[in-house]
């Protein structure tokens, strides 16, 4: 028996990286995926990689509260959401002395506002078994790294906001948890790793006791938090970083 058989699971950021890996894992385990993102071409390409039938994509900017109403509408029409996974985000390296208010706003919009908007929309269409929400944070939120002030601040905000959301939404049978991820080999991490010297890149790799992560390393933890195996977990942050924060 597939553990997510016919469960409706929303994935923000399904177009690539961890979001795509999570969607593929859920679909393989029987779920019906609702993929959300701004790039229709990436969403369509990702859709073709999903096993099973009944998947759906919503091409929308998660910053727009009016446009994310389609998430609620689709959920209500299809039995309600069982899972809501928010993997969208952005990373721009900038020393704090050169960080402008716009850089902070852009980072919070991409990493925090999108997650909260999508969670609000999914929370209005909860399935009969309740809803498990998972937000993707970063070890940068808890471990100082030069050049990451805006990114670290926004990812730290997700951890704080999740605790509040868990309290506010518990009576609606909604759980909210966070994954604190280390450096995972995705397009986003590759964009800043390429600016490092070979020595610096080797240092990043060695700082992860188990090496850099693969998207599936994180999507495995996401699947656990969405599943009933984690039914007594909410308001928590689970570190999945290959030993980086222990080093």
Q: How far is CA 52 from CA 30, 190, 234, in A?
A: 7, 31, 30
Which pLDDT belongs to residue 87? 96
Which pLDDT belongs to residue 119? 98
pLDDT digit string, tens, across residues 162-194: 999 999 999 999 999 999 999 998 877 666 677
Which pLDDT belongs to residue 148? 87
- Reduced to 3 states, what is the DSSP secondary structure of residue 59? strand
Which pLDDT belongs to residue 146? 80
Q: CA 29: distance to chain centroid?
A: 19
Residue closest to 26 by CA, chosen among 54, 2, 62, 48:
2
> Which pair of structure tokens corresponds to residue 155?
């990812």
Q: Is the dihedral of CA 231, 232, 234, 239 positive or negative?
A: negative
In degrees and rounded to multiples of 5, residue 126 shows phi and psi of: -85, 140
Name the stretches of the chain with pLDDT < 50: none
* Contact by Cβ (8 Å): 56, 35: yes
Which pLDDT belongs to residue 192? 67
Q: What is the pTM assigned to this prediction?
A: 0.95
Which pLDDT belongs to residue 3? 95
pLDDT digit string, tens, across residues 131-150: 999 999 999 999 888 888 99
**Do you know the residue count of the chain?**
247
> % helix / strand / coil in the chain, to the nearest 5?
45, 20, 35
Q: Where are the beta strands (DSSP E) in 4-130?
A: 8-12, 32-37, 56-59, 83-86
Instruction: Tokens 């385990």: give the residue.
Output: 29
Which pLDDT belongs to residue 56? 98
Which pLDDT belongs to residue 8? 98
Which pLDDT belongs to residue 92? 81
> Which pair of structure tokens corresponds to residue 230?
């984690």
């Amino acid at each position: 028996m597939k553990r997510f058989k016919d469960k409706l699971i929303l994935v923000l950021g399904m177009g690539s990286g961890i979001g795509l890996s999570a969607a593929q894992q859920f679909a393989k385990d029987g779920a019906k995926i609702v993929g959300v993102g701004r790039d229709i071409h990436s969403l369509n390409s990702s859709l073709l990689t999903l096993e099973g039938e009944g998947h759906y994509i919503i091409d929308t900017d998660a910053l727009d509260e009016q446009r994310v109403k389609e998430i609620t509408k689709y959920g209500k029409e299809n039995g309600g959401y069982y899972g809501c996974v928010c993997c969208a985000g952005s990373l721009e390296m900038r020393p704090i002395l050169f960080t402008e208010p716009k850089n902070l706003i852009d980072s919070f919009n991409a990493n925090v506002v999108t997650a909260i908007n999508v969670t609000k929309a999914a929370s209005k269409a909860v399935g009969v078994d309740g809803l498990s929400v998972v937000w993707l944070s970063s070890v940068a939120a808890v471990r100082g790294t030069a050049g990451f002030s805006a990114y670290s601040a926004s990812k730290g905000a997700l951890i704080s906001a999740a605790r509040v959301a868990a309290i506010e939404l518990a009576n609606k049978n909604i759980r909210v948890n966070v994954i604190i991820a280390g450096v995972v080999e995705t397009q986003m991490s590759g964009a800043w790793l390429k600016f490092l010297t070979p020595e610096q890149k080797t240092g990043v790799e060695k700082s992860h006791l188990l090496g850099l992560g693969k998207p599936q390393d994180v999507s495995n933890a996401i699947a656990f938090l969405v599943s009933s195996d984690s039914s007594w977990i909410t308001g928590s942050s689970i570190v999945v970083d290959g030993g980086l924060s222990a080093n």
